[in-house]
Chain A
Amino acid sequence: MVRLKLVLVLFILCFASTSTGKEKEGIGEQFTEELLLRPLPDRKVLAHFHFDTRAPPTASYGRHHRIFPKAIYQLRSFLGVNQNAQSAMCKNMFQASSQEQSLTASYAESKLRVQLNCTDTPLGQTSIFPFGSLAITVLNTNLALLDQVHKFQVREMELSFTQGRWNYERWGGYDPIASSNVKPPGVELWAVFDVPQDQVDASWKKLTHTLSGLFCASVNYLESSTAYSAPDWSFREFSGNLRYGTLPREAVCTENLTPWLKLLPCRDKAGLSGLMNRSSIYRGFYHSQRLHLTSGEFNSEAVNYGIMLELTLTVVLEPNTLEAGVTRSSGLALQPSWSLRSLFGREVGERCVLAKSSNVYVQLEGSLVLVLKNKWEENSAYGADTLSYEEGSLSNPSFELSVCPNRIIKEVNSLHPEGPSILYHYMMENYSDSKPFELEFKWKSPLVWSCPLAPLHASRFLMGSGNERGAIAISLQATKRSDDFLVADIDEKGCRLRVDVFQVVPWYVKVYYHTLKLFVDEKPVSQADIIEKMRVSPSEDKVSPGVMELILRLPCGVKSAAITLEFDKGFLHIDEYPPDANQGFDIPSAVVSFPDFQATMHFLEDNSSNESPLERSSVLSYTEVLLVPLTTPDFSMPYNVITITCTVFALYFGSLLNALRKRVAEEERRLKSKAAKKSGRVPLLLSKLLTKVRGRPWEPPQAASTSSSQISYKLIFKVILVAGIAAVRRGKAAEAAQERTCYNTSTLAFSSYI
């Protein structure tokens, strides 16, 4: 009865709150969408979708939103003391079967009086519905509690699903997209909690389960303490209660994209997300969907927005071209021309009316602009056209855009030596279903350029072979142009390049941190010379992974540097092996960041507050995921184990029972009687006959000796027979099993005979 009432009340309350929410419509929730397209040097195109949803702080706005996804909002305030009821309220509204709810209700009831006294409810709705006031009060109390438990909450969180690898050498490693949007393969999740230190782990566990359900992914595997770690300072600058975990093996597919799209107000029905044709975006070379949640309410410097949700999708696509093969042979090939339709198979139709702004940018990188400029000048030197190359004007001999952009934005304060990059800005407000936005980018002359690279290219690999030990090596190679950066980076402390390394290693790879060796330019250097700061928390078997955080100060002119760490390979318990244990075990990506370098792009704009999709962060790159082959048992072994244990048991119990059953006296008596009766009737008669013939007195024959040897021969025959049968049987049975089994079957047969 109580439950029924509760459901009813929940429903009413939800209704009531939406109605109150509507009153406050238009105060501050906003949604913007952006798409950045950038041609890449290796005939591919980068498409970066960026959806931004912001909601004002709960205190001023309430907790019911029109645009902001409920699931995420609840996620933000999900963790706490009394929030099961809150989550149940909207999520499981019509599935009120769980006992949890009634429990919470009763719990809340018991606390009712106390809470009523000490909280003032900002959204007092007690008097709206006179009936069932008790239950309503309970829930209101819960809501009030919610405000109180703000300190138990997620301050910031990022979840990413990635397929494929970002090619740092070809697609760049210095720009904001490569630094903050590129993620390691699989799932990566980190979250900063605003709860006391001892509750962080519990909150993390709840969070992983919630996200797992929300995104149809096995994020819940991050719950186990062996799967996540707590980096101190190397992953993010101020990470107090941060937890970090990755699942490198998680496969990413549309089932993860669909829930992600549900967080958008227009889903993929209208607006830029309408471009997300599943088959085209999953056909690409890199696919990364990311969810970043920032809760401003917990920050002391209160931001305008209470909670901000960033959803990004980064894909690298290769335009379908037919002429690719034809042009290849003739020296420099023309870059493939592309259009939105050729990339996505769709174009932007109806705009999402809920979006405050909806923009498409086409970006030309600084180095490309430089190349274009040179080309322009070269051409203008010959031709009569003496106009200087300006602002990426559209009338140029190298490429052509089918639609004239609304604006051309040029980067300011560019740190890159190549020069500023250029954005062509298209506003989607001008397009509609009847007049879809179809952009075509057409190359007219072949060009070669390269993307700005991070100062050092980080790669990681395994050394050694065999099942016993190995070593992890992180190698940092200076990129060709890093000299330019480094010259610019000399400070008073001498020219040093700071490199942060953060590496998590699962416990079954037992890293010996004392074996850390450092090499700069292929010469060994002592740790004190290079390492500025280091934090190591060794792994604990079956409890926690090993974490290493390093701050290196490398000399500026460094050509190459390497870090090596030796490890032993551990043994796992049989039930700790994953289903495909023979593939090997993953070591998640290490994070190498360069805090001295900021991947920023400033664009001069009218309202530069939030228009640019590119934010400020330090240059960061992820290394490869490693695959460590560990010793794996033969999983057909149960068969072997059964046979061998049966053999042992048969031998043991056989002899034991023999020893217990027989008594010496009885044995002797039996033997005597046996000896008396030993010879059969026919030989007895025969011997009697013989004696009669010979005329001698008959004596009982001493046939024992012959009989014993007869028995022995019989025995040998039987043994051979059994062995033979066993061999034949094995021939049939062992087909599927490994070669090892063959010993056991015959032993078993033999022992069973004994």
Chain B
Amino acid sequence: MAKREEPPKAKPRLLIRAGILIITHSLLVSVICCTAGVFALLLLPILAKNTYISENALLPGSARSMLSPHEFSDANKFVKEISSSNVEPASTGIETPRLIAQHIADLGGEVSYHKFHPQLNKFHPLHFFSSPDPGIVQVNYSCSSYGINTVGIIRAPRGDGKEAIVLVTPYNSLNITPGEALSLGLAYSVFSLLTRVSWLAKDVIWLAADSRHGEYAPVAAWLRDYHAPTFGGPRKPNAEICGESALYESKANQFMGSKIADHFRRAGTIAAGLVIKVADRSVDITRDTLSIYAEASNGQMPNLDLINTVNYLAVHGQGLLVKVEKFWSFLHSKWLKVFGEIFESVGKVAKSLNPQWVFGISAMEYIEGTATLASSLYNQALGVPTGPHGAFRDYQVDAITMEISPKLYWSHKAKQAEVFLRGGRLVLLFPFKTFMLVEGVLRSINNLLEKFHQSFFLYLLTSPSKFVSVGVYMIAFALLVAPLPVVAASLYSDANKRGPTSVKHKLSSSPISVDEAHITFRSWRWLSAAKTVFIVHLWGAVVTLMPYFICQLPNCTPTTSLLVWVSLSVFGLVVLHLVLGSPSAFVSASQPQEKEWALLKSVTVSAAFVGLCLMSVINFATAEIGALLIVPMCLMALPVRLNTSAHKFRAVARAAFNVVFILVGCPVVAFFMLKGVFEGFKNINVGEFWFWVESLWVWNSATYIFICMVHLPCWVLCIYILLHPC
């Protein structure tokens, strides 16, 4: 605040005054904002709104299901055939695709096989945000490594074929589990119904994805060939060589003779994708449950309307128990319960004051909501898709995975076979509901005139029917991040302000020109701090690229890889420090700079602010979690040897806080802490971090870049400030 002088001077403008005020009270502001930010985050489950179907055209559940017992008997037969075909010992993985293709052709659908080989999950630093060019990954694959997807297409009778809906059922062609067989049967029954209906407006593609290389790879490969086929690439191995000619030797069927196309069949622009899985184990014994997985790469979510439709139909139509992922360990956490109870009682009090204030939720609800929210936040922050639906999002297609856990209890395989053979009625009971669910969802999407755009894309789920939109959850982030520029400004102005007073006394007799030169020099003093920060961030970029080379090392266990990475990074940092020298060395040679650390911190904080804001655009959840770690660390960082004039106790406390925050701020430690909190500290292996990071880069997650290029440099700079000799 400007000093008060006797003659009343014109006050600065309101905004400027407010700004100055905030900067002068930066400590208070940052404490309030950070607390409020964390509090707002805890408040999110209460602020969650009920979902609603925003797109009117969807009309879920408005049509009666057209299913007949006919489809079920067919589907049951189909499931039996599938499971028996797979029992044969010399299973090469061809029988099932052929069987599926035969059935699709008999139904009158168009069939084709899609052969693919999985792409090696490698770290390509140059292709980080773009999927690697399929041309470059050409290794000699043996025949056995090929997967064979079976693709069936129903053309909408009167549609113009511009749009398509994709139904995916992943199954392992080498070893089909009962759940997979059931999911194939489910898709088959829906498919057979759809060949006869007249209401279809979009083509329906059934992709029976061969998941012998994982569930994601076949879907991704198919989508890649759908959207970016390669012409003139190296020829795929001949079908004859690989003995796949057997695929095409199906018995003459009704419509096409033996015409199962070997070229890639397509329909129009994909409107939506549904991945259907049937779990092999049941979650709930009394009810069928449906789990929805929606997170795609880099925290992208499908349109909320898709989840709403599925949820609406499952809950109100079929009476299923719908679940989304949650952290189970949260359900028993004490402190959450305390929070929940506090919020509940506050809600009660508010309600007693005014019956119209209904914002309290019960403690149990709060805990559940928080567990789901945390899981939602974590999965988005991780940037790794939670299922095969993630492949669709890379092509701007909304997709979700629906995993159905039947209430039948399947203990082991022998029992399973019995269920199939004898318990026809039991099995029938189960797909009945899910069949109608899938039919209803398809029908809703089929109703859609435009692509999904009405509802939210940026949201967090607190339960299948509750969500927090970006407008709400960004408040927490904004509050957390807000102190950073304030503190940076206040530090900078402090460093610049106190400088002159001390300097002025010393140089009072010197000529003005020198003084002016000095002032200009002083105002550019931050450049050296900026240089340090820049160098550290550059180092971060180098660290980012290191795993590419470490991966090339032969015979590396994860632990050694991690150690090599860490040691190389430390070595790089030391070398950089030695080569470029401590930036303060030059400055301090010319003049004493007691406020050097303040400038450094100011620039560090600004850099962290910029990094967090950038990340919030790319992946909000990462930025949110990152802010929780980085902001306190950056704000608390003070040199240990700072002014001894203060209280001894305060200094010690401050140093202790510093150390704690910096320790927690370390990415490795933070990872293990989170892991320990969620899964217990029992089986922690250092190599796990390497695995985790590896999973980040193979999925092209921006979180990896954030950790290496924003989080890690900030952490290093905080340590640097902590150890600053002032």
Is A17 among interface residues, defined by CB-CB distance under 8 A?
Answer: no
Partner of B158, one of A41, A285, A519, A668: A285
Q: Quick one: which of A695-754 are within 8 Å of B by CB?
A: 702, 704-705, 708-709, 712, 715-716, 719, 727, 730-731, 734, 738-739, 741-742, 754
List of A residues within 8 angstroms of B9 by Cβ: 671
Q: From residue B19, how far is it (CB to closest CB) to chain A in Å? A: 11
Q: Are A461 and B266 in contact (CB under 8 A)?
A: yes
Partner of A624, one of B17, B18, B161, B470: B161
Taking a contact as CB atoms under 8 Å apart, the answer to whether A584 and B451 are in contact is yes
A473 close to B (CB within 8 Å): yes
Tell me if B323 counts as interface (CB < 8 A to partner A). Answer: no
Q: Quote the shortest CB–CB distance from B255 to chain A (angstroms).
A: 5
B458 touches A664 (CB 8 A): no
Tell me if A130 is interfacial: C-beta within 8 Å of chain B. Answer: no
Residues of B within 8 Å of A248, CB to CB, are 160
User: Of A144-152, A164-172, A409-417, which binds chain B?
Assistant: A164-172
Q: Do residues B458 and A675 form an inter-chain contact, with CB atoms below 8 A? A: no
Chain B residues with Cβ under 8 A from A165's Cβ?
155, 159-161
- Asked if B512 CB lies within 8 Å of chain A CBs, one says no
Interface residue A86 (Cβ < 8 Å from any Cβ of B): no
**11 more A-B residue pairs beyond the given contacts A164-B159, A560-B263, with a C-beta to C-beta distance below 8 A:** A163-B158, A165-B161, A170-B255, A185-B160, A186-B160, A285-B157, A325-B70, A463-B228, A477-B263, A517-B231, A668-B10
Mark B244-269 against chain A: 1 for CB-CB distance below 8 A, else 0.
Answer: 00000000101111010001001011
8 A Cβ contacts from A645-693 to B: 658, 664, 667-668, 671-672, 674-675
Q: Is B4 an interface residue (CB 8 A)?
A: yes
Q: B8: CB under 8 A from chain A? A: yes
Interface residues as binary, B100-129 with A (CB distance below 8 Å gives 1, 0 otherwise): 000000101010000000000000000000
B332 at the interface (CB under 8 A from A): no
Given the interface pairs A462-B269, A560-B263, A671-B8, the reply to whether A730 lies near B160 with Cβ below 8 Å is no
Q: Is A42 an interface residue (CB 8 A)?
A: yes
Closest residue on chain A to residue B475 by CB atoms: A727
CA distance A477 to B259 in the complex (A): 14
Question: Once bound together, how far apart are the Cα atoms of A629 and B470, in whole Å?
Answer: 25
B448 (CB) vs chain A CBs: closest residue? A583
Instruction: Specify which chain A residues have a CB less than 8 angstroms from the CB of B255 in the assembled complex.
Output: 41-43, 170, 448
10 contacts between A and B (CB under 8 A): A43-B108, A284-B158, A463-B229, A475-B263, A517-B231, A522-B231, A560-B263, A629-B396, A715-B14, A715-B21
Which residue in B17, B254, B451 is a CB contact (below 8 Å) of A629? B451
- Which residues of A607-633 have CB atoms within 8 Å of chain B's CB atoms? 624-629, 632
A473 touches B269 (CB 8 A): no
Given A626-B268, A712-B21, CB of A332 within 8 Å of CB of B160: no
Return the contact of B450 from the options A580, A626, A668 (Cβ within 8 A): A580
Q: Which residues of A contact B451 (CB under 8 A)?
A: 582-584, 629
9 residue pairs, one from A and one from B, having the closest CB atoms: A742-B471, A582-B450, A627-B162, A185-B160, A739-B470, A519-B231, A465-B395, A671-B8, A524-B232
B237 → A minimal CB distance (Å): 14
- The CA-CA distance from A730 to B106 in the complex, in Å, is 56
Selected contact of B155 from candidates A167, A463, A477, CB within 8 Å: A167
- CA A367 to CA B162, docked complex, whole Å: 32
With an 8 A cutoff between CB atoms, is B365 at the interface? no
- CB neighbours of A667 from chain B (8 A): 10
The tally of residues in A whose CB lies under 8 Å from a CB in B reads: 81
Residues on A with beta carbons closer than 8 Å to the beta carbon of B229: 463, 473
Kindly state the separation between the CA atoms of A163 and B456 in the bound complex, as whole angstroms: 34
Closest to A164 in B: B158
Q: Which of A167, A705, A738 contacts B4 (CB 8 A)?
A: A705
Question: Is A328 an interface position by the 8 A CB rule?
Answer: yes
Q: From residue B189, how far is it (CB to closest CB) to chain A in Å?
A: 13
A333 interface residue (CB < 8 Å to B): yes
CB contact between B227 and one of A464, A658, A664 (< 8 Å): that residue: A464
Shortest distance in angstroms between B459's beta carbon and chain A's nearest beta carbon? Answer: 8
Majority SS at the chain A contact face = mixed
Interface size on B, residues (CB 8 A): 57
Whole-angstrom distance from the CB of B220 to the nearest CB of chain A? 13
Complex interface: chain A residues within 8 A of B232 (CB):
519, 522-524
Residue in A186, A517, A671, A738 whose Cβ sees the most chain B Cβ within 10 Å:
A738
Cβ–Cβ < 8 Å partners of A632 in chain B: 453
Given contacts A580-B450, A626-B268, A709-B1, contact A480 B231 (CB under 8 A): no
Q: Do B471 and A730 touch (CB < 8 A)?
A: yes
How long is the Cα–Cα vector from A475 to B198 in the complex, in angstroms?
29
In the complex, what residues of B have CB within 8 A of residue A738's CB? Answer: 456
B449 in the interface (beta carbon within 8 A): yes
Output the nearest chain A residue to B8 by Cβ-Cβ distance: A671
- Whether B8 and A675, one on each chain, are in contact in the complex, defined by CB atoms closer than 8 angstroms, is yes
- Is residue B63 contacting chain A, with contact meaning CB distance below 8 A? no
Q: Which chain B residues have a beta carbon within 8 Å of chain A's beta carbons?
A: 1, 4, 8-11, 13-15, 17-18, 21, 70, 106, 108, 110, 155, 157-163, 198, 227-229, 231-233, 235, 252, 254-257, 259, 263, 266, 268-269, 394-396, 449-451, 453, 456, 458, 469-472, 474-475
Chain A residue nearest to B29 in the complex (CB): A716
CB of A552 to closest CB in B, whole Å: 15
Q: CB of A454 within 8 A of chain B?
A: no
A76 at interface by CB-CB < 8 Å: no
A480 nearest in chain B by CB position: B259
- A459 close to B (CB within 8 Å): yes
User: B106 touching A328 by the CB < 8 A rule?
Assistant: yes
A716 B18 Cβ-Cβ under 8 A: yes
Q: Assess whether A489 is interfacial by the CB under 8 Å rule.
A: no
- When C-beta atoms are compared, the residue in chain B nearest to A741 turns out to be B471
| Cβ-defined contact, A586 with B162, below 8 A | yes
Q: Please state if A562 and B268 are interface contacts (CB–CB under 8 Å).
A: no
CB distance from A34 to the nearest CB of B (A): 25
Q: Is A32 an interface residue (CB 8 A)?
A: no
Contacts of A475 in B (CB 8 A): 263
Contact yes or no, B269 A627, CB < 8 A: yes
Among candidates A448, A522, A560, residue contacting B254 with C-beta atoms closer than 8 Å: A448
Quick one: which of A42, A448, A466 has the most chain B CB within 10 A? A448
Bound complex: CA of A217 vs CA of B8, how far in Å?
78
Residues of chain A in range 6-55 having any CB-CB distance to chain B below 8 Å: 41-43
A657 to chain B, nearest CB (A): 13
**Residues in B neighbouring A185, C-beta threshold 8 A:** 160-161
| A450 interface residue (CB < 8 Å to B) | yes
Evaluate contact between B263 and A629: CB separation under 8 angstroms. no
Give the complex CA separation of A584 and B269 in angstroms: 9
A283 interfacial contact with B, CB 8 Å: yes
With an 8 A cutoff between CB atoms, is A287 at the interface? yes
Q: Is B18 a contact of A625 with CB atoms below 8 Å?
A: no
Contacts of B233 in A (CB 8 A): 522
A160 contacts chain B at the CB level, 8 A cutoff: no
Chain B positions within 8 Å of A584 at CB level:
162, 269, 451
Q: A273 at interface (Cβ–Cβ under 8 A)?
A: no
- Contact: B155 with A739, CB < 8 Å? no
**Complex: how many Å from CA A461 to CA B37?**
49
- Minimum CB–CB distance for A674 against chain B, Å: 8
CA distance A524 to B135 in the complex (A): 15
CA gap between A664 and B449 in the complex, in Å: 63
Q: Complex Cα distance A459/B10, Å?
A: 76
Q: With CB as the reference atom, state the residue of chain B lying closest to A327.
A: B254
Q: Does A179 contact B (CB under 8 A)?
A: no
Q: How far is the CA of A467 from the CA of B155 in the complex (A)?
A: 27
User: Is B228 in contact with A464, judged by CB distance below 8 angstroms?
Assistant: yes
Q: How far is the CB of B203 from chain A (nearest CB, A)?
A: 10
Q: How far is the CA of A396 from the CA of B472 in the complex (A)?
A: 77
Residues of A within 8 A of B10 (CB): 664, 667-668, 671
Could you say which of A333, A675, A712, A731 has the most chain B C-beta atoms within 10 Å of its C-beta? A712
In the assembled complex, the Cα of A738 lies from the Cα of B305 at a distance in Å of 13
Set of chain A residues within 8 Å of B449, measured between Cβ atoms: 580, 583
Complex CA–CA separation, A286 to B158 (angstroms) = 6
Residue pair A625, B160 in contact (C-beta under 8 Å): yes
Q: Is A564 an interface residue (CB 8 A)?
A: yes
